[in-house]
Structure 1
């Protein structure tokens, strides 16, 4: 990564957060961990409240990292490096005398859903809760449900805060919520996976939902729900799952990806010139589409699938891949799954959404549906 050789910009002298976030972003962008750490300490010395520093400075920078990756202005490697710098800055701040607090309240366990690698949102929540006097066990990324339940039995927390950013982990999140409640521990969920309005938190019977870390801390401060004596909703209590479509798609996922990749070469001729790397990335894209289709079947939510398809069209466009290449993929999956009515409905909705998307130009007849 190219080192930052520009003159240092003087740091702000007041407690506002936007200027600090801009400076921290610059340090993170250039991979300057020392500068990032110095800025965080300087912000504390200038009067920025620790909670605002965590959420409105470091949190804002991390959100921008995600936006820059999605816009193809930041590679995966650079995104990982930036996230690692933010994590180390958080760790350093947590030991600073202006931030450290002795716990005066109960215990909260924070964990990511199994398969969820985005641990930083949970880490930020943990630091905010510690500032507010809670004792926090932060278990980190992708915590297997049996191990989480074992930890709950060992430590007896007042609540579990379950974090999820990836929607395809929602079925696992549902099972984890049910298992925690069966262990007698109420569950707060948060993160993009649960929907901007918390719809999947309600669908899965979570005790609490919050859209962000500050709201989650406020929700816990306002009072904990009673400990559940029985699960609020068992995993098999979603009536639409009786048709087995979710199970059928999950079990056939690998075959669907291979067959669609093979047939796509005929439906999308430019693919014949793809390199091995391009073909691998195409297979990964198809696998993601199948995964989101399965998750939409699990939640019975058309918007989840169409939202992902449109997001994928935007990402492909930023990477110079024609978004209309998604149309034959959707059509091939529709043909393969023609005996599954809900899956066909979702795929038809996705197809129509793509046709209305400005990035999807009308393909030539050879690639049209």
Structure 2
């Protein structure tokens, strides 16, 4: 691992060139060069917010793309993310990033079960740069702990982050709990769908696509205080059919029954190694979890998009994506008495059959 200091960068260096240099360090698992690089950017006069969002965040986005394309492993993705977190920490303590709090107080946290903390950390640092007093609580914050913190600090708003859609029911509970004590909520992250479509459905006061947009939104004025008597669950009347509850409650048996049925339909599975069987069971669990979330939101597109993405990931890893339709058919058979689940599974199956993917992972 190299510990050499990178060459001094020109003040006017293009951001894409700087991001490329950081990518080289991150992909080489060279945290020293990565850290020295961002510090040198700041020493040479770069704006801290620009370094965070147009260099570090850009590189982190590339990390995700490389993992999805199967060009880096899960371990490499974790190592790269850890180095980017180190880079963010280095920026946060640089003299150029020191600001005085002149605005209100914001709590930034990931919803319970959400381990991807870097997007929330980037937001926290940007808000500090913009003059906010920020309490950054990190990844996977249980809702009771979040509420206890809010009681103790009297924050003006909460910014909640979630990248994985299966955390949306938990996010909904957190949003409702915050609003119940009078604290408005801004949400962000890929979990909330294109253009934040699920943010509105779950009752958040605001949504932002990224840290810069979130900071801009908060700078426009205080978020509206929630109505104390508003009951969020009234906005999801479809939950009355209990399909979501039953799928969640029986998810383990659903995975087991579908796995057994797949073995019967495809005898070659019986020769799988323990690792292959474990990964197959994990894939089935993810499918059931996303189906449950689609039932919670009554949104076919959420599940269909996940299945299409899964097909692309499997293809990138050399696994025949056409193994997915039989899985969905078997799952639909297990849920034959659940009309909304059947509708969602049928929509996803049609999409897989009519929209094949290319080797690059994009729809033809």
User: Map of 1:302-321 to 2, 5 A cutoff?
Assistant: 302-321=300-319
Q: Distance in 1 between matches of 2:241 and 2:59?
A: 44
Q: Distance in 2 between matches of 1:132 and 1:256?
A: 48
Q: Distance in 1 between matches of 2:50 and 2:278?
A: 42
Report Cα offsets for 1:48-90 as digits up to 9, x if no partner: 2111100010000111111111111111111111111111111
Which residue number corresponds to residue 54 of structure 1? 52
Q: Distance in 1 between matches of 2:192 and 2:134?
A: 22
Q: Report the 3-state secondary structure (helix = DSSP H, G, I; strand = E; otherwise coil) of the residue aligned with 1:294.
A: helix
TM-score, normalization by structure 2:
0.95
Q: Report the 3-state secondary structure (helix = DSSP H, G, I; strand = E; otherwise coil) of the residue aligned with 1:116.
A: coil
1:125 aligned residue (109, 118, 123): 123
Pair 225,231 (structure 1): closer, same or farther in 2 beyond 3 Å: farther
User: Map of 1:278-317 to 2, 5 A cutoff?
Assistant: 278-317=276-315
In the alignment, is residue 210 of structure 1 matched against residue 208 of structure 2? yes
Pair 58,294 (structure 1): closer, same or farther in 2 beyond 3 Å: same
User: Map of 1:1-369 to 2, 5 A cutoff?
Assistant: 3=1, 11-230=9-228, 232-359=230-357
Q: Does the 8 Å CA contact 1:205/1:233 hold for their aligned counterparts?
A: no
Q: Does the 8 Å CA contact 1:72/1:319 hold for their aligned counterparts?
A: yes
Q: Does the 8 Å CA contact 1:62/1:83 hold for their aligned counterparts?
A: yes
Q: Distance in 1 between matches of 2:4 and 2:90?
A: 25
Report Cα offsets for 1:288-308 as digits up to 9, x if no partner: 000000000000110000000
Q: Does the 8 Å CA contact 2:184/2:224 hold for their aligned counterparts?
A: yes
Q: CA deviation at 1:359?
A: 3.8
Q: Does the 8 Å CA contact 2:3/2:30 hold for their aligned counterparts?
A: no
Q: Distance in 1 between matches of 2:182 and 2:8?
A: 52
Query: Which range is displaced more, 184-193 or 7-16?
Result: 7-16
Q: Distance in 2 between matches of 1:137 and 1:258?
A: 42
Q: Distance in 2 between matches of 1:7 and 1:179?
A: 48
Q: Distance in 1 between matches of 2:180 and 2:317?
A: 45
Q: CA deviation at 1:234?
A: 2.1
Q: Distance in 2 between matches of 1:234 and 1:144?
A: 19
Q: Report the 3-state secondary structure (helix = DSSP H, G, I; strand = E; otherwise coil) of the residue aligned with 1:57.
A: helix
Q: Does the 8 Å CA contact 1:310/1:354 hold for their aligned counterparts?
A: yes
Report Cα offsets for 1:96-140 as digits up to 9, x if no partner: 101111111110000101000000000000110000000000000
Q: Distance in 2 between matches of 1:105 and 1:8?
A: 37
Q: Distance in 1 between matches of 2:232 and 2:108?
A: 22
Report Cα offsets for 1:233-280 as digits up to 9, x if no partner: 423541111111000100110000011111101223332332110110
Q: Distance in 1 between matches of 2:336 and 2:143?
A: 35
Q: Distance in 1 between matches of 2:226 and 2:201?
A: 17
TM-score, normalization by structure 1:
0.94
Displaced runs of 4 or more, over 6 A: 5-10
Query: Which range is displaced more, 171-180 or 84-93?
Result: 84-93
Listed as ranges, the gaps of 5+ residues in structure 2 are 360-364
Query: Which range is displaced more, 87-96 or 301-310?
Result: 87-96
Q: Does the 8 Å CA contact 2:5/2:33 hold for their aligned counterparts?
A: no
Q: Distance in 1 between matches of 2:151 and 2:186?
A: 18
Q: Distance in 2 between matches of 1:124 and 1:360?
A: 34
Which residue number corresponds to residue 362 of structure 2? none
Taking only aligned residues, the RMSD between alpha carbons, in angstroms, comes to: 1.8
Q: Does the 8 Å CA contact 1:16/1:48 hold for their aligned counterparts?
A: no
Q: Does the 8 Å CA contact 1:158/1:185 hold for their aligned counterparts?
A: yes
Q: Does the 8 Å CA contact 1:191/1:211 hold for their aligned counterparts?
A: yes
